[in-house]
Structure 1
Amino acid sequence: MPDQNVYEGVLIFAEQLDGKVSNVAYELIGKGRELAADLNTEVTAIVLGHNIGHLADDLAARGAQKVIVVDDPCLEHYTTEPYTSVIYHAIETFHPAIVLYGATAIGRDLAPRVSGRVHTGLTADCTKLEIDPDTKDLMMTRPAFGGNLMATILCPNFRPQMSTVRPGVMVKRPVDHEAKAEVLNWKPDLTPNNKFVEVQDVIRKVSEKMDIQEAKVLVSGGRGIGNAEDFSILEKLADTLGGVVAGSRAAVDSGWLEKDQQVGQTGKTVRPDLYFAIGISGAIQHLAGMEESGYIIAINKDASAPIFDIADVGLVGDWHAIVPALTEAIAAEQAAKEEN
Structure 2
Amino acid sequence: MEMLRGRFAPSPSGRMHLGNLFSALLAWLSVRAAGGTLVLRIEDLDPDRCRGEYADALMDDLRWLGLDWDEGDGVGGPQGPYRQSKRTEIYAAAFDALEHRGLVYPCYCTRAERLAASAPHRGDGEAVYAGKCRDLTPAQREERARTRRPAWRLMVPDREIAFTDGLQGAYVENLLRDCGDFIIRRSDGVYAYQLAVTVDDGAMGITQVVRGRDLLFSTPRQLYLYQLLGLTPPEFYHVPLLLAPDGRRLSKREHDLDMGALRARFSPEALLGWLAALAGLVDHPEPVGAGELAKAFSWEKVRKEDVFVPETLLKA
What TM-score, normalized to structure 1?
A: 0.33
The structure in which a higher percent of residues are strand is: 1
The structure in which a higher percent of residues are helix is: 2
What TM-score, normalized to structure 2?
A: 0.36
Higher-Rg member (1/2): 1
**Larger RCO of the pair (alpha carbons < 8 Å, separation 6+):** 2
